[in-house]
Amino acid sequence: MNFSLNEDQRSLVAAIERLCEDFPADYWRDHDDRAVFPHKFHRAVAESGWLGIAMPEAQGGAGLGITEAALMMRAISASGAGMSGASSVHMNIFGLNPVVVFGSEAQRQRFLPPLIAGTEKACFAVTEPDAGLDTTSLKTQAVRQPNGSYLLHGRKIWISTAQVADRMLILTRTTPIDQVKKPTQGLTLFYTALDRSKVEVREIHKLGRAAVDSNMLFIDGLEVPEEDRIGEEGRGFEYILHGLNPERILIAAEAIGIGRAALRIASQYAQERIVFGRPIGQNQGVAHPLARAWANLEAADLMMLKAATLYDAGEPCGIEANAAKYLAAEAAHDACQNAILTLGGMGYAKEYHVERLLRESYIPRIAPVSPQMILNFIAEKALGLPKSY
């Protein structure tokens, strides 16, 4: 398995890095401070044709693999944009994979081009106040109407970009859980307009990544036409499972980017900061934590690339994708903490950006699945240990 980038992949990374040069770290600090969505950045990515990097060519996408998408997201995050930059385009990159794989040709033609062009934004509505990792416990209902449409009622939480989204990919229950053989049955997926007269979007104020909103949704009588249903009624859980491994791979790539950005700032500071007549980076107490952080990030990067390579080859990659997400999130968080300690008091100052990166490094640790659940998965699937939950 060769993880060396080919010429096209190197050109892709270089193009993304050039694009990101127009959006320096101060741009992201300002948007984080003001809690304003980075519309200019989103538009620049769309105009450059990168929003459709992993979307079908027939709908205007580039038709590339998850490897190329991960390289793109890693480069965006590493530029200093962190999760604010990555999350602003994350949904466009692979979020509509259920539509690509399970939607009809008419749905692909209707839904994908506006997303790829950047004229529409989307959000992904699965998590609920009482149904996080236990997805099958979700309570949002979609009730079939005589005219064939569905009427939706329920609540969703931690829904990114809902403040700016035009549409949402939403998982609902169409058959009560006590009427199905397995809890995974009876869930239905829709991609539909976010009608704000029927959906209250309430922002959650949070620790980091204020530039990209997180929200609670209160859905009261949202009518969804039948043509917005993705695939068959009752098979929605199966459809979203198809995109879990790519999501973990992309999150891993974004986390690695955060760690690299923090390490770059810390290394430069350690070379320039003179104490007792020499750079502080000459002291092993400063150098060794940064060196360890570099090694951990590179190891996580290799696992991420392995998972992406397996996925693009159509091979099983669940263990590798979960391991990549776990390793990358832990390595990024460690790199950010050591960056702050390297800068000392200035690490606590917004001017140097590492405090922002540290705050954002909690996101890949927590979402979309906790480190504990990943370890449960690896223990069961890789080691053959009994299921613990």
Q: What is the pLDDT of residues 81-113, one digit of tens each?
A: 999 999 999 998 889 999 999 999 999 999 999
For 150-162, the pLDDT digits (tens) are 999 999 999 999 9
241-381 homologous superfamily: Butyryl-CoA Dehydrogenase, subunit A, domain 3 (1.20.140.10)
CA angle (313, 314, 315) in 5-degree steps: 90
- Residue 250's closest CA among 168, 364, 170? 364
pLDDT at residue 49 in the model = 96
Of the chain, the percentage scoring pLDDT greater than 90 comes to: 98
Q: Domain 122-234 has what CATH class?
A: mainly beta
Fold adopted by 7-117: Butyryl-Coa Dehydrogenase, subunit A; domain 1 (1.10.540)
Report the pLDDT averaged over residues 13-34.
Answer: 99
- Residue 300's closest CA among 238, 258, 266, 269? 258
Of the chain, the percentage scoring pLDDT greater than 70 comes to: 100
For 294-308, the pLDDT digits (tens) are 999 999 999 999 999
Tell me the Cα Rg of the chain. 21
The domains of the chain are located at 7-117, 122-234, 241-381
pLDDT at residue 389 in the model = 85
- Residue 46's closest CA among 114, 99, 107, 96? 114
Which element (helix H / strand E) includes 357? helix 354-366
Question: Both tokens of residue 309?
Answer: 């390579």
Do 38 and 26 form a contact (C-beta atoms < 8 A)? Answer: no
H-type alpha helices, 207-243: 236-241
pLDDT at residue 3 in the model = 81
Domain 7-117 and domain 122-234 have a common topology: no
Q: What is the pTM of this model?
A: 0.97
